[in-house]
């Protein structure tokens, strides 16, 4: 099979991924093989490729927003059949025995494995995964538009929940890429007014097109205070900006896997029971709930497509914020 392989982390401007011919993997017991139709890009891919995350499997095939068709099944699998259309996200496997799994927070599992990081991912024609961590794709979505739901959507949903936002309240989104443009849509369906804080005018235009009540920069004065915020851009200074825009008792949820240092702040910014919390990974329940919600809310993902061989070019475009919405590799 063809696959884009990372052998050594380096800047995306240096074309770190190389096209290789690899053996097609066979599914072991409890696993299934997916013939990949497409795989969406994620900033986590970028952090792995450029070495901003601790080094795990190497060489590795990146990619963890996979949509494809089950074409082989290992023994013991009863949840899926050959020919099923499925999605594979970031959370690849958890041990179900550590203290975090036992208390229902498998996203914090001590021994978790992650797709495209600990095991080979979806920048390839085939990928293997445990059947219990693979999900049916709602028929409302075609393959290309479904792919960004599998991380940008799922982590956006978890961030939304952990922000504590309630119906009728105002939500602030900081950064407007793949995840934020999905959250904006279902937040409106759930009864929230949404403000978007982002640098690029093209991103502001997209936010307004998708229904944001207001879109501007962090330096601009928004029409009112927000009740909760989600920060998608990996800039620590945005924590202070969001706290300044936040009502008493509100929460700032940090959706990224990495972030630059958060500057020193005056205690008054976090006083009045304001909360800053990180969001780490997601659970299988998050995935199931979100995919159902996305179909009900008729979420539309804005996508820009690339071929598998253009993965380096696509990652560079992602880094330079030249993709409106989500980038997707079309592989099959």
Q: What pLDDT, in 10s, does the model give residues 12-62?
A: 999 999 999 999 999 999 999 999 999 999 999 999 999 999 999 999 999
How would DSSP label each residue in 238-272? HHHHHHHTEEEEEEEEE--S--PPPPP--GGGTTT
Question: Domain segments of the chain: what residues?
Answer: 2-150+281-330, 154-278
Q: Residue 81 in contact with residue 70, Cβ under 8 Å?
A: yes
Average pLDDT value over all residues in the chain: 97
Structure tokens at 65: 């927003």
Label residue 89 exposed, middle or buried (CB < 10 Å: 0-12, 13-18, 19+): buried
Task: Please tell me the predicted confidence (pLDDT) of residue 135.
Answer: 98
Q: Smallest Cα–Cα separation from 33: which of 3, 77, 79, 71?
A: 71
Task: Please tell me the predicted confidence (pLDDT) of residue 332.
Answer: 80
For domain 154-278, give the CATH superfamily: NAD(P)-binding Rossmann-like Domain (3.40.50.720)
The pLDDT tens digits of the residues spanning 278-307 come to 999 999 999 999 999 999 999 999 999 999
Q: Please give the CATH topology (third level) of the domain spanning 2-150+281-330.
A: Quinone Oxidoreductase; Chain A, domain 1 (3.90.180)
Task: Please tell me the predicted confidence (pLDDT) of residue 247.
Answer: 98
Percent of the chain with pLDDT over 90: 98
Asked, colleague to colleague, whether 2-150+281-330 and 154-278 share their fold, the answer is no
Is pLDDT above 90 for 121?
yes
Task: Please tell me the predicted confidence (pLDDT) of residue 79.
Answer: 94
């Amino acid at each position: 099979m063809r696959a884009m392989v990372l052998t050594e982390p380096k800047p995306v401007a240096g074309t770190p991924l190389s096209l290789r011919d690899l053996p097609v993997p066979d599914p072991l017991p409890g696993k299934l093989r997916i013939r990949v139709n497409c795989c969406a890009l994620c900033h986590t891919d970028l952090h792995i490729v450029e070495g901003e995350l601790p080094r795990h499997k190497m060489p590795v095939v990146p990619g963890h927003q996979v949509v494809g068709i089950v074409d082989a099944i290992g023994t013991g699998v009863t949840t899926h059949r050959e020919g099923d259309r499925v999605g594979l996200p970031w959370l690849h496997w958890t041990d179900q025995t550590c203290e975090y799994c036992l208390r229902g927070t498998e996203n914090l599992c001590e021994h978790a494995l992650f797709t495209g990081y600990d095991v080979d991912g979806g920048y390839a024609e085939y990928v293997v995964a445990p059947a219990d961590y693979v999900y049916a794709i709602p028929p409302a979505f075609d393959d290309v538009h479904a792919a960004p739901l599998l991380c940008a959507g799922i982590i956006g949903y978890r961030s939304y929940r952990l922000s504590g936002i309630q119906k009728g309240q105002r939500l602030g989104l900081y950064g407007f890429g793949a995840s934020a443009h999905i959250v904006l849509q279902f937040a409106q369906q759930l009864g929230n007014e949404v403000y978007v804080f982002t640098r690029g005018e093209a991103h502001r235009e997209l936010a307004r097109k998708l229904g944001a009540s207001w879109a501007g920069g962090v330096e601009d004065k928004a029409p009112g205070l927000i009740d909760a915020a989600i920060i998608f851009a990996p800039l620590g200074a945005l924590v202070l900006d969001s706290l300044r825009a936040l009502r008493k008792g509100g929460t700032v949820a940090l959706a990224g896997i990495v972030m630059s240092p958060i500057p020193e702040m005056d205690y008054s910014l976090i006083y009045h029971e304001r909360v800053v919390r990180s969001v780490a990974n997601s659970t299988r329940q998050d995935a199931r709930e979100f995919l159902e919600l996305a179909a009900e809310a008729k979420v539309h993902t804005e996508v820009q497509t690339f071929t598998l061989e253009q993965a380096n070019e696509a990652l560079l475009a992602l880094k330079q914020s030249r993709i409106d919405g989500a980038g997707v590799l079309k592989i099959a």
